[in-house]
Chains A and B, each alone.
Chain A
Amino acid sequence: MKFAFLCKERTRSSGAKVAVVGAGPAGLAATGYLVCRGHEVDVYDKLPLPGGMMTFAIPKYRIPLDAVMEGVEDLQKNFGVKFYLSTKVVCGERHDEGDELARNNVDLTKLVEGYNAVLIATGTWRSRRLGVPGEDAENVVSALEFLLKLNLGRLGLLEGKLWSFRRVVVVGGGLSAIDAAEESLLSGAQEVYLVYRRTIKEAPAGEYEIDRLIRLGVRWIELAAPKSIVVENGRARAVEFQRMKLGEPDETGRPRPVPIPGSEFTLEADLVIAAIGEIPTPPLAPNCGDLVKYVGKDGRVLVDRGYRIPGTNIFAAGDVVTGPSKIGQATKQGLEAAREIDRLLSAKILVTAR
């Protein structure tokens, strides 16, 4: 990936400095645009390598690591972009998934003072919880946590041990569920169950992807939702599910899954993976003061049409604004926000030059 796809090398300097927080597709696409416009960019990321979900969540058989890294090296070598990795930027305090990998902390308000503009592109690094008894057991994990650890292990960056597993139960019907199930299988699981509360027709991952996994040997169970995790000595031993039927359409327009009383069944598992969605994680924690009012109830950053938090030099783009999306949509947000930042900086430079 050449994130600076609009130019070969930096030919001019605007004198303006931009901090990009989050080195995923939105942050890196924005960085590529900004350096081609002559701005100096520093990129901050809490993880030990750039790429975000592309490096740490999406399986390598989909996106090869060097496809991301060649673009990162181009930014470093030809455009002087500095990467501050293992560095968590936050205003206030909050713990998200992957935070334990950060070695340094930087206060967002310092970046706001030290740079002409700051772009928040921190994505969705918190997982929705199942909300059933027993989910705190050590071998109940989120898809994000599972994929992150697996990738850290492969990259030789994992501290501690990976779970050992033979029977895996994945709960969910989206692309994270697909990736978690397929990666479990590839990592040597004997049996992998993929359980979704609606039917294959409603699953966000689509019928094709689910059929593909079934052909690979994953056992697909639809119309069932977890009711509790059966825990023994702090470890999950099984998941109790309840059968569902489809009811009236809910607010998303899809038929609502309705529990069928007395239909409970259990699946034994030594690893339970919850893949039921991720939540935006902006570096604006609840105790961050005034800026918190620009974080919506669902965690998304509320920006104006110019991707800007009104009245500040802070911009936001990507999944942290939209919620979980595809690389393309995150890239689009990053590019459009970068164009807005460039407009702001160019206007400022004109004013100062007068």
Chain B
Amino acid sequence: MSGVGRVGVLLRAIDYSKCMGCETCEVVCGFIHELGPFIRLYEIGGGVRRPISCFHCSRAPCVEVCPTGAMRRDSQGAVYVEFSRCIGCMACLYACPFGIPDYSPTTKTSVKCDLCSDLRREGLTAACVAMCPTRAIIIGEPRAIGDEMKRRALLRVVHLGDT
């Protein structure tokens, strides 16, 4: 658990240059999480709908601001809510620049994406990442995310012709 040993950093990036708003991420997340979905699409005008969810920030304001230590980081680095400690004050929501944490009337706590910790424990990846048809959602260590986003930026600029 957090505070013990080395805690990794696991980031999520959503490549909006690839996303086509197909809703698969939201659907698979909702299918496996009773309290979810924790990644959802919003209409932002012009008929465009795009997903947003927790980016698992490395200096997460939600973790900093949580008065009970309920908002924490798992050993791989994903930010999650420890329900038994959460009092549902939603300080995390106000602290989050992306408005990510939701209040669940079922658990009376803050709820949010934990990057499918159950699946990751089995050596699998988060459902939204696994099923995105455009590979727009990626998770990984900061270096890997940075490398992948830069490689994609190059592919947009440098045309190799028909491949």
Tell me whether B123 and A8 are in contact (CB under 8 A). Answer: yes
**CB of B27 to closest CB in A, whole Å:** 4
Inter-chain contacts of A25 with B (CB < 8 A): 24, 133
Tell me whether A2 and B130 are in contact (CB under 8 A). Answer: yes
Tell me whether B31 and A327 are in contact (CB under 8 A). Answer: no
Inter-chain contacts of B25 with A (CB < 8 A): 328
CA distance A329 to B45 in the complex (A): 21
Tell me whether B131 and A68 are in contact (CB under 8 A). Answer: no
- Is A216 part of the contact surface with B, judged by Cβ < 8 Å? no
Tell me whether A329 and B130 are in contact (CB under 8 A). Answer: no
**CB of A240 to closest CB in B, whole Å:** 29
Tell me whether A329 and B27 are in contact (CB under 8 A). Answer: yes
List A1-42 residues whose CB lies under 8 Å from chain B: 1-3, 5-8, 25, 29
Inter-chain contacts of B132 with A (CB < 8 A): 1
Tell me whether B46 and A327 are in contact (CB under 8 A). Answer: no
- Is A62 part of the contact surface with B, judged by Cβ < 8 Å? yes
Total residue contacts A-B, CB cutoff 8 A:
81
Most B Cβ at <10 Å: residue of A1, A211, A327, A336 = A327
Nearest residue (CB) in B for A154 is: B162
**CB of B134 to closest CB in A, whole Å:** 6
Contact of A332 among B27, B119, B134 (CB under 8 A): B27
**CB of B50 to closest CB in A, whole Å:** 11
Tell me whether A208 and B124 are in contact (CB under 8 A). Answer: no
- Is A239 part of the contact surface with B, judged by Cβ < 8 Å? no
Tell me whether B23 and A327 are in contact (CB under 8 A). Answer: yes
Inter-chain contacts of B30 with A (CB < 8 A): 332
Contact of B31 among A211, A326, A329, A332 (CB under 8 A): A332
Nearest residue (CB) in A for B19 is: A62
Contact of B28 among A64, A68, A206, A331 (CB under 8 A): A331
Inter-chain contacts of B7 with A (CB < 8 A): none
Tell me whether B47 and A208 are in contact (CB under 8 A). Answer: yes
- Is A137 part of the contact surface with B, judged by Cβ < 8 Å? no
Tell me whether B22 and A5 are in contact (CB under 8 A). Answer: no
List B94-144 residues whose CB lies under 8 Å from chain A: 119, 122-125, 127, 130-135
CA distance A208 to B45 in the complex (A): 8
Inter-chain contacts of A204 with B (CB < 8 A): 47
- Is A335 part of the contact surface with B, judged by Cβ < 8 Å? yes
Chain B residue total in the interface (Cβ 8 A): 28
**CB of B131 to closest CB in A, whole Å:** 6
Tell me whether A5 and B124 are in contact (CB under 8 A). Answer: yes
Given contacts A62-B20, A331-B28, contact A206 B47 (CB under 8 A): yes
Inter-chain contacts of A62 with B (CB < 8 A): 20, 134
CA distance A207 to B45 in the complex (A): 8
Given contacts A7-B124, A335-B31, contact A206 B26 (CB under 8 A): no
- Is A205 part of the contact surface with B, judged by Cβ < 8 Å? yes
Inter-chain contacts of A327 with B (CB < 8 A): 22-24, 133
- Is B32 part of the contact surface with A, judged by Cβ < 8 Å? yes
List A56-92 residues whose CB lies under 8 Å from chain B: 62-64, 67-68
Inter-chain contacts of B47 with A (CB < 8 A): 203-209
Tell me whether B28 and A207 are in contact (CB under 8 A). Answer: no
Tell me whether B135 and A5 are in contact (CB under 8 A). Answer: no
Tell me whether A331 and B131 are in contact (CB under 8 A). Answer: yes
Inter-chain contacts of A3 with B (CB < 8 A): 131
- Is A170 part of the contact surface with B, judged by Cβ < 8 Å? no
Inter-chain contacts of A209 with B (CB < 8 A): 47-48
Tell me whether A328 and B46 are in contact (CB under 8 A). Answer: no
**CB of A3 to closest CB in B, whole Å:** 7
- Is A54 part of the contact surface with B, judged by Cβ < 8 Å? yes
Nearest residue (CB) in B for A338 is: B31
List 25 contacting pairs A-B, 8 Å CB cutoff, sorted by A: A1-B133, A2-B130, A2-B131, A5-B125, A5-B127, A6-B127, A8-B124, A25-B133, A62-B20, A63-B134, A67-B135, A68-B133, A207-B47, A208-B45, A208-B48, A209-B48, A211-B46, A326-B23, A327-B24, A328-B23, A329-B27, A331-B24, A331-B28, A332-B30, A332-B31
Query: Which residue numbers of B lie inside 8 Å of A, CB to CB?
Result: 20-28, 30-32, 45-48, 119, 122-125, 127, 130-135
Query: Which residue numbers of A lie inside 8 Å of B, CB to CB?
Result: 1-3, 5-8, 25, 29, 54, 62-64, 67-68, 203-209, 211, 326-329, 331-332, 335-336
Known contacts A6-B127, A25-B133, A62-B134; can you find 13 more A-B pairs with CB under 8 A?
A1-B133, A5-B124, A6-B32, A6-B124, A8-B124, A25-B24, A62-B20, A63-B134, A67-B135, A326-B21, A328-B24, A331-B28, A335-B31
State the 5 A-B residue pairs at the shortest beta-carbon distance, nearest first: A206-B47, A328-B23, A208-B46, A5-B130, A2-B130
